[in-house]
Chain A
Amino acid sequence: MTSIEVQALTKEFGTRRAVDDVTFRVLPGRVTGFLGPNGAGKSTTMRLVLGLDRPTSGTATIGGRAYVTLDEPLRHVGALLDAQAAHGSRSGRDHLRTLAASNRIPDRRVEEVLEQTGLASVARRRVKTYSLGMRQRLGIAAALLGDPGVVMLDEPSNGLDPEGIIWIRELLRRLAGEGRTVLVSSHLMNETASFADHLVVLGRGRLLADTPMREFIHARVRPGVRIRTTDPTALKSALARHGHDAVEHEDGHWTVQHTRVDEIGAIVSAARVPLLELATQEATLEQAYLDLTATETEFTAQPQEA
Chain B
Amino acid sequence: MSSPPIPRSFAPVLRSEWLKIRTLRSLLGALLALFAATTAFSAIAGVSETSDPEFDPLFMALSGVGPGQIAAISFGAMAVSSEFHGGGLRLSLAAVPRRGRWFAAKLLAIGVPTLAVGLVTALAALVVGRAGLGDAASGLSTGEQTRGVIGCAVYLTLMALFAAGVATLLRSGVGALSLIIPFILVVSFVIGDAAGAGVADFLPDRAGQTVLYETPDRTLGPWTGLGVTALWTAAAVTAGAWSLRRRDA
Among the stretches B79-87, B137-145, B234-242, the one at the interface with A is B79-87
Residues in A with CB closer than 8 Å to B96 are 102
Decide yes or no whether A183 CB sits under 8 A from chain B.
no
CB neighbors of B among A76-104 (8 A): 77, 79, 81-82, 84-91, 94, 97-99, 101-104
Taken together as a complex, chains A and B put the C-alpha atoms of A69 and B86 apart, in Å, by: 25
The answer to whether the Cβ of A240 comes within 8 Å of any Cβ in the partner chain is no
Q: Which residues of B sit under 8 angstroms from A88, Cβ to Cβ?
A: 85
Give B87-113 interface residues, CB cut-off 8 Å to A: 87-88, 90-98
Complex Cα distance, B138 from A161, in Å, reads: 71
Q: Which of A163-201 contact B (CB under 8 A)?
A: none
Q: Are A104 and B12 in contact (CB under 8 A)?
A: yes
User: A82's closest neighbor in chain B, by CB?
Assistant: B87
Q: Which of A2-10, A47-55, A253-261 contacts B (4 or more CB under 8 A)?
A: A47-55
Question: What residues of B have a CB within 8 angstroms of the CB of A77 in the complex?
Answer: 94
17 further A-B contacts with Cβ under 8 Å, apart from A52-B93, A82-B87, A98-B19, are A47-B90, A47-B249, A52-B249, A53-B249, A73-B94, A84-B85, A85-B85, A85-B87, A87-B85, A87-B88, A88-B85, A90-B20, A97-B23, A99-B91, A99-B95, A102-B16, A142-B91
Interchain CA distance A12-B87 in the complex, whole Å:
20
Interface pair B248/A103, CB less than 8 Å apart = no
Which B residues are in CB contact (< 8 Å) with A84?
85-87
Query: In the complex, which residues of chain A have a beta carbon less than 8 angstroms from the beta carbon of B85?
Result: 84-85, 87-88
Chain A residues with CB under 8 A of B25: 89
A136 to B: closest C-beta gap in Å? 13
Q: Is the CB of B91 within 8 A of A81?
A: yes
Q: How many residues of B contact A (CB 8 A)?
A: 28
Q: B150 contacts the other chain (Cβ, under 8 Å)?
A: no
Q: Are A102 and B12 in contact (CB under 8 A)?
A: yes
Q: In the bound complex, what is the Cα–Cα distance between A67 and B95 (angstroms)?
A: 10
Tell me the chain A residues, 94-121 only, with Cβ under 8 Å from chain B: 94, 97-99, 101-104
**B47 at the A/B interface (Cβ < 8 Å)?**
no
Q: Which residues of A contact B88 (CB under 8 A)?
A: 85-87
The residue in B13, B15, B19, B82 that gathers the most chain A C-beta atoms within 10 A of its C-beta is B19
Q: What mask results when residues 1 to 17 of chain B are scored 1 for a CB within 8 Å of chain A, else 0?
A: 00000000100110111
Query: Once the chains bind, are B26 and A89 in contact (CB under 8 Å)?
Result: yes
Given contacts A52-B94, A54-B248, A82-B87, contact A72 B9 (CB under 8 A): yes
Q: A42-64: which residues lie under 8 A (CB-CB) from chain B?
A: 47, 50-54
B199 interfacial by beta-carbon distance below 8 Å: no
In the complex, the answer to whether B16 meets A101 with C-beta atoms within 8 Å is: yes
**How far, in Å, is A279 (CB) from chain B's closest CB?**
45
Q: Which residues of A contact B82 (CB under 8 A)?
A: 87
Which residues, 1 to 57 on B, are CB-close (under 8 Å) to A?
9, 12-13, 15-17, 19-20, 23-26
Q: What residue in chain B is nearest A139 (Cβ atoms)?
A: B91
**B26 contacts across to A, CB distance below 8 A:** 89
Question: In the complex the two chains form, what is the Cα distance from A104 to B12 in whole Å?
Answer: 6
Whole-angstrom CA separation of A159 from B219 in the bound complex: 61
A/B interface sample: 29 pairs, CB < 8 A? A47-B248, A47-B249, A50-B94, A51-B93, A51-B97, A52-B94, A52-B248, A52-B249, A72-B9, A73-B97, A77-B94, A81-B94, A82-B87, A85-B86, A87-B24, A87-B82, A87-B85, A88-B85, A89-B24, A90-B24, A97-B19, A97-B23, A98-B16, A99-B16, A102-B12, A102-B16, A102-B92, A102-B95, A102-B96
